[in-house]
């Protein structure tokens, strides 16, 4: 069964193509393996995609969101220059045509609810 249900705080919002993406911080349940503060502390960070919702939905950083959906993974190649730019650095003599293969796992939202009283 591929089904997921979680609640987290919206940290980042972006769009790509016709899709809306959110980055959620989700607090780990007590009793689960701990992470160091450098690794994110008691939070895990997940990406949620709302297919074809680029212009239909509005969320705000800081809101608490409960989402139900399923996991999908997708593979893509990214140019080295774009990869470095997202990392906040550049390589002056970066070779042209070099790509980085990446696999992304994300939650595809089917149902969701913004918790009352949350947000900025």
CATH number for the domain that contains residue 12: 2.40.50.140
**Separation CA 24–CA 116 (nearest Å):** 17
**Separation CA 74–CA 94 (nearest Å):** 26
pLDDT digits (tens, 9 = 90+) for 8-37: 999 999 999 999 999 999 999 888 888 888
Per-residue confidence (pLDDT) for residue 90, from 0 to 100:
80
For residue 77, being part of any structural domain is answered with: no
For residue 42, being part of any structural domain is answered with: yes
How many domains does the chain contain in total?
Answer: 1
Q: Residue 57's pLDDT band (boundaries 50, 70, 90)? A: very high
| pLDDT: which is higher, 64 or 29 | 64
| pLDDT: which is higher, 116 or 104 | 104
């Amino acid at each position: 069964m591929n089904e997921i249900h979680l609640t987290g705080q919206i940290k980042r919002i972006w769009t790509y193509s016709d899709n809306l993406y959110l980055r959620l911080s989700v607090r780990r349940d007590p009793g689960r393996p701990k992470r160091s503060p450098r690794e994110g502390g008691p939070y895990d960070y997940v990406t949620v995609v709302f297919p074809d919702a680029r212009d239909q939905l509005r969320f705000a950083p800081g809101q608490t969101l409960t989402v139900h959906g399923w996991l999908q993974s997708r593979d893509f190649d990214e140019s080295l220059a774009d990869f470095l730019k997202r990392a906040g650095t550049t390589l002056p003599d970066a070779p042209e045509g070099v790509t980085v293969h990446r696999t992304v796992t994300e939650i595809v939202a089917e149902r969701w609810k913004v918790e009352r009283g949350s947000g900025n």
